[in-house]
Chain A
Amino acid sequence: MTKIIGKVAATEKNPTTIDEFYFWTNKQRILNPFDVVKVEHIENSISYGIVEEISHITDSASYLSNFISSDFGDVSTQPNMHRIGMNFVKAKVLGNDKSIYTPVLDGSKVGLANQTEVLQALGLKDIKNPLICGYMEMYRDEDKISLPVHFNSQFLIGPEGAHLNISGISGLAAKTSYTMFLMKAIQEQYLQKSDSNDSVAFVMFNVKGRDLLAIDEPNTNLKEEEKKRYTEMLGLTTEPFQNVKYHYPYSDQSKAKTYSYGQCNDIEAQIDVNKAFKYKYVFEDDKLNLDLLFSNIEDSTGTMESIINFIITEQGGFGEVTSWSQFIAKVGEFTRPGRTTGDREISVMSWRKFKRVITKALNNAIFSQRVIPESNEERLRDSIVNIQKNEVHVVDIARLDQDTQAFVFGDVIRAIYELKLGQEEREEKEIPSKIVIFIDELNKYASNDVPKNSPILKQILDISERGRSLGIILFSVEQFKSAIHDRVKGNCASHAFGRTNAIEISKADYRFVPTVYKNMMTRLDPGEYIIEHPVFRSLLNIKFPKPLYKQFPNG
């Protein structure tokens, strides 16, 4: 064994087991959680372990003994020697190169592993369908090793497993950056693929400032060192995203006629090269999605649903309505007391509530009379169902109010779902076989508090449960995983944990995580994640470089 750092200690209280072992090291030996160590085992085999906890002990019987050792509390005492002390490390067994799982023996030598051994130990060697997901750093100084980490892409975007969930507190976790890093890696891989049956496209929502409004423009602030990391270690190019289309909400107020945080000049420039569009909703085509406006409204008696049904089935004269303003006027008729028309079972009070909700929402300029394609206006749904292979569609909803955001979001995922179910008139082979949807702030649509009958929640549940086979993959992001609906996170094959807070790690979702890793989650740097993936033998602590696309530090 090359670099021996300690020996296994099996005691009565802490025996070595199939799953774990303890070893001692010199008190000045620096190790970190997630470092891999190797142990000499029987039949000349090598067992591998991953560091979970490190403790320092001395022979002091009690604190009192330390107090007395300072001349009964004299802080200036300088003894000739320190107490005898050592570190003992708890490690989880990762495996054995001869598949021997008998507990490692007391006194066995423990050493540092080299790069190949680390890969083997963590199950990262010979990963099938490798897709880069970051890099790992281990040990220090001359022992330091850095190695790329790969997902098996079949477990990330199907068909073996699907969906990724990323959690972490705002700002410090760099959740969006990590999702974009992964999507960039996927796009790059698929751009080089020639197999026409296996293709991918992306739909993402810009929910904050200008975050994703220039993802096809390079990040000019990226340092050489970071670029090198992309090319040399991670095997990626330093190009930003390609084939990107931006969809901005229409507005009649601004110069660019969009309702966005994006600068008018930038948007106009994008429109000029035909990669940006302004989306609108037209009554005749979009009335079927009216239910989406009610996704955050408690409707335990189902009256809102009845009204929507009433309208969709064109009862009470709704069949003649052709615009949003007519629609509001028509609804107004049902709110007058003593009316004689319509479904008598729906009370006037319910109609009034319905009217309140839609009036507020329909005030937005995106609910418009008609679409003018010549001015780069569009019906969002039409663009989405026409999604092409390797395209990235960015839907900007950052400036919309929460209910309208939900409406747009619901409309898009409903469109994708129907596209993949084959309800659109498109050739099967023309449709991307996998569509990755990036949802930021998942808690808005699929938290435990969302009304159970929310149409968007139903849609997300459908996708998380059936999406793998349909080829719809969710990359969802939220601040607090514990707030997310169990069925949504339960169906995610891969998970990434960024920096979070102490309250969060005390929740049941983190029960399986060893205490030290949990506490580490509260100290992770931006660009650092703890990830869980079906092919990994353990949680891994990985890093990723800064984004390749243009950043707007001030939002």
Chain B
Amino acid sequence: MDIVGFFGKKLEEKTGIKEIACKGMIRLAFRDAGIDSSTFKIDEYKKVFSKNLKIRFEKSGIDNPNALADYMVSELIKNQGLFTMSA
């Protein structure tokens, strides 16, 4: 299961930006954090979404980067069961 792909799709639904770019954005945030994006650890995802992804959103100039990062964290909390179920 491609968990980054799952959250990339969520980001696409929220922003209307192509899925491939959304997935790429999440991967870039993982790279910035020095964390392997194949992780199953929800706390690592949370750290990346709330910090590194937010910084990436800010750098990109997209509207409401904070709200967008918060949305990703809320989707993460909502779908946390997926980490265990897809392991």
User: Do A and B actually bind?
Assistant: no
Residues of B at the A interface (CB closer than 8 Å) are none
Residues of A at the B interface (CB closer than 8 Å) are none
